[in-house]
C-alpha cells in the first residue's frame, strides 16, 4: 500500500474507512454515466473516514475527526489528500458505514420532499422503488415532517420492514397495487410522486396523482422510457420534473449544501435516519463487490471497507 500524501496548504489527508458501490459508480465504469471523469481516474463518488493530517490554513478540522468526502474525489482508495473545502465534518458517534452513504441518497430524498412543493402537515406523497436507499430515506424524512407516504415496491415481502421505518401504506408495484391504493378507505390523491423506475411503474404513479400533481423522475431502474398519455397532460395537467442530485451538488452554495448535510448527519447520528447495509468487502475482493452490488433482490447497500 502506498503511503499517504502529506497535505499541502489548504488540504486534508483522510483515511477512507467505507465507500459504497452505487449504480452511478457502475455506470461510470461502463462509460454510460451522465458525467465521466478524465482518465486515469479512481472510482467511488462517496465515502467517509477519519482525518489523518491537516495542512496549513485549514480551519474546523483536526486529526481524528470523522468526515464525509463531499467532493468529486475517487473514494475507492485507502487514503486521499484533497482540499479541505471538499470535506465535511461529521457529528461525534456517527456510524461511518452510515456516513459513507450520506452524500447521495439522503440529499436526493431531501430535495424530492422540499424542492418542488410546500406541503402541509399530513400531506400524502407517493413513490415507487420504496425499498431503495432514496425510498427509505423519503419515508424517514417524511415521517419526521408529519407527511404521509404511499409506497410501491416489487418485493412486497419487505412491506413490514418499510412500515417499521414509518411507511403509512405499502403496495405491490403492479396494476392491482394501484387499484388497491385508490380503493383504500380515506384515500387522498397525493400532489407529489417520486419515480425511480420509469416505464409502466412511472405511469401508474402519474395515474395516482391529484390534478396538477408533480411527478419527479430521479432514476430509471427499468431502463424504460416514459410514454405519457395525452390525457395526463391535457385534462389533469400533471407536471413532469427531473432531479439529478449531481447537478444540485455542483450548483448549490456551500452554505446551502452544508445546512442540508448537517441536518441529515445529525439525524443519522441520532438513529432517526438509517440506510441498510447488506455486505462489506475489502478492496482485494472488488470483483465480488461489483457483482454483488448488481444482484437483483438485495436488502441493502454493498460497501467497500478499507
The larger pLDDT score, comparing residue 96 to residue 219, is at: 96
**What's residue 226's pLDDT?**
86
Share of residues in the chain with pLDDT > 70 (%) = 99
Based on the residue annotation, tell me whether 33 is a catalytic residue of this protein. Answer: yes
**What's residue 190's pLDDT?**
97
33, 171, 218, 261: the active-site residue: 33
Share of residues in the chain with pLDDT > 90 (%) = 84
Residue 15: Cβ-neighbour burial (10 angstroms; 0-12, 13-18, 19+): middle
Give which of 202, 211, 205, 201 is closest to 231, Cα–Cα. Answer: 211
Place 15 in a pLDDT band, splitting at 50, 70 and 90: very high
Map out the domains of the chain with their CATH numbers: 11-103+276-305 (3.90.180.10), 106-245 (3.40.50.720)
pLDDT in tens, 76-116: 999 999 999 999 999 999 999 999 999 999 999 999 999 99
**What's residue 223's pLDDT?**
80
**What's residue 147's pLDDT?**
98
Q: Residue 245 in contact with residue 218, Cβ under 8 Å?
A: yes
**What's residue 172's pLDDT?**
98
CA separation for the pair 259, 214 (Å, rounded): 25
Q: How many residues does the chain have?
A: 306
Whether the full predicted model's pTM is greater than 0.85, yes or no, is yes
Using alpha carbons only, how large is the chain's radius of gyration in Å? 20
The three grid cell numbers given for residue 283, joined into one nine-digit string? 478492496
**What's residue 33's pLDDT?**
84
**What's residue 297's pLDDT?**
81
**What's residue 53's pLDDT?**
97
pLDDT in tens, 134-157: 999 999 999 999 999 999 999 999
Place 296 in a pLDDT band, splitting at 50, 70 and 90: confident
pLDDT in tens, 107-133: 999 999 999 999 999 999 999 999 999
Instruction: Provide the angle, in degrees to the nearest 10, between the axes of the packed helices 133-145 and 254-270.
Output: 90
Could you list the beta-strand ranges (E) of 129-227: 148-153, 169-172, 192-195, 214-217
Could you list the beta-strand ranges (E) of the chain: 11-20, 48-54, 66-69, 79-83, 87-89, 124-127, 148-153, 169-172, 192-195, 214-217, 239-242, 277-281, 301-305
CA separation for the pair 60, 248 (Å, rounded): 25
**What's residue 220's pLDDT?**
83
CA separation for the pair 219, 244 (Å, rounded): 8
Checking if the pLDDT of 2 tops 90, the result is no
Average pLDDT across the chain, whole number: 94
CA separation for the pair 299, 75 (Å, rounded): 23
> What H or E segment, with its residue span, contains residue 232?
helix 230-234
Give which of 1, 3, 15 is closest to 54, Cα–Cα. Answer: 15
**What's residue 1's pLDDT?**
65
**What's residue 73's pLDDT?**
72
Amino acid at each position: 500500500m502506498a503511503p499517504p500524501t502529506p497535505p499541502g496548504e489548504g488540504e486534508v489527508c483522510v483515511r477512507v474507512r467505507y465507500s459504497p458501490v452505487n449504480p452511478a459508480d457502475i455506470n461510470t465504469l461502463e462509460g454510460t454515466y451522465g458525467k465521466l471523469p478524465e482518465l486515469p481516474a479512481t472510482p467511488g463518488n462517496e465515502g467517509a473516514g477519519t482525518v489523518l493530517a491537516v495542512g496549513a490554513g485549514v480551519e474546523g478540522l483536526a486529526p481524528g475527526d470523522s468526515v464525509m468526502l463531499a467532493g468529486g474525489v475517487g473514494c475507492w482508495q485507502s487514503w486521499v489528500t484533497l482540499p479541505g473545502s471538499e470535506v465535511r465534518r461529521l457529528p461525534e458517534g456517527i456510524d461511518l458505514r452510515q456516513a459513507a452513504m450520506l452524500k447521495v441518497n439522503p440529499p436526493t430524498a431531501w430535495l424530492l420532499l422540499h424542492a418542488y412543493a410546500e406541503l402541509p402537515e399530513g400531506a400524502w406523497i407517493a413513490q415507487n422503488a420504496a425499498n431503495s436507499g432514496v425510498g427509505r430515506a423519503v419515508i424517514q424524512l417524511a415521517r419526521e415532517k408529519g407527511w404521509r407516504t404511499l409506497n410501491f415496491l416489487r418485493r412486497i415481502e419487505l412491506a413490514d420492514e418499510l412500515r417499521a421505518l414509518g411507511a403509512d401504506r405499502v403496495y405491490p408495484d403492479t396494476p392491482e397495487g394501484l387499484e388497491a391504493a385508490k380503493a383504500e378507505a380515506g384515500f387522498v390523491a397525493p400532489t407529489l410522486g417520486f419515480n425511480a423506475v420509469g416505464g409502466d411503474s412511472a405511469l401508474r404513479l402519474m395515474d395516482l396523482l391529484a390534478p396538477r400533481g408533480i411527478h419527479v423522475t430521479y432514476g430509471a431502474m427499468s431502463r424504460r422510457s416514459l410514454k405519457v398519455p395525452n390525457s395526463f397532460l391535457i385534462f389533469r395537467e400533471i407536471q413532469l420534473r427531473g432531479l439529478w442530485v449531481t447537478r444540485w451538488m455542483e450548483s448549490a452554495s456551500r452554505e446551502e449544501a452544508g445546512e442540508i448535510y448537517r441536518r441529515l448527519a445529525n439525524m443519522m447520528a441520532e438513529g432517526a435516519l438509517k440506510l441498510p447495509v447488506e455486505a462489506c468487502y475489502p478492496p482485494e475482493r472488488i470483483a465480488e463487490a461489483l457483482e454483488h452490488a448488481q444482484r437483483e433482490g438485495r436488502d441493502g447497500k454493498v460497501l467497500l471497507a478499507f
